[in-house]
Amino acid sequence: MGIAIIILTIIIRLALFPLFQKSIKAQKEISALQPKIKEIQEKYKKDKEKQARELMALYKEHKVNPMSGCLPILLQLPVFVAFIRVLQAGIKTESLGLLYSFVVNPQTINTVFLGIIDLAKPNIFLAVLAGIAQFVQSKMMAPKTAPQKEKNGQLDFSKALTTQMTYLMPIFIVFIGLKFPAGLPLYWTVITIFGIIQQYFTAKGKKQNV
């Protein structure tokens, strides 16, 4: 079962590779545009409609879609929910009779991964590993500078929120991983590691082109 999850995760990641690539590039470009975005927000802070138009013009000028980062996540949600449903009930022997007619019934499913981890039960090691992988990926995408105070003494909200999510999201992933069968954090770990590798080579390629 562990090998099946890894293979399926790789197939999903490869299928969504172009969308993830666009998402990573868009996030990097938006991060680079932050000074101009802040300038527009400050200049038109009393006119939200004008502010929105100027921001959209800025994104259009630099060919950046601020919503491109949401599509890969939305496309993964059905898979994520399906994984939860399968791990909760689908791996039971009595559920194998519900397979499609063109799928050979294996009679039993080996849920022990590497001979030590039962993917049908929660596992603290995989849950923590998934959290660590999520932290590394979030850290790679987070702004390189710490949140700064604005002129009015208030913290930069967007950067502060990003910094908080960098630490809160991994904790959330560990919590979820401890509540559900270990197959779920295995899936999350594999797909996140692929994301880390993709982000690394995308960033490296961008630096070489500069």
Rounded mean pLDDT, 109-131: 90
pLDDT for 190? 92
Q: Does residue 7 carry a pLDDT above 80? A: yes
Q: What is the largest CA-CA distance in the chain?
A: 67
Cα–Cα distance for residue pair 134/128, rounded to 1 Å: 10
What secondary structure letter does DSSP report for 122?
-
58-97: pLDDT as tens digits: 888 887 776 666 667 777 788 878 878 777 776 776 677 7
pLDDT for 154? 44
Query: pTM for this one?
Result: 0.72
Measured in whole angstroms, the distance separating CA 138 from the mean position of its chain's CA atoms is: 8
168-207: pLDDT as tens digits: 889 999 999 999 899 999 999 999 998 888 888 877 765 5
pLDDT for 143? 56
* Burial tier of 74 (Cβ tally within 10 Å: 0-12, 13-18, 19+): exposed
**Average pLDDT value for the chain:** 78
pLDDT for 205? 62
138-167: pLDDT as tens digits: 887 765 554 555 544 444 555 566 667 778
* Of the candidates 114, 124, 120, the residue with the CA atom closest to the CA atom of residue 83: 120
Q: What is the DSSP string of 20-40?
A: HHHHHHHHHHHHHTHHHHHHH
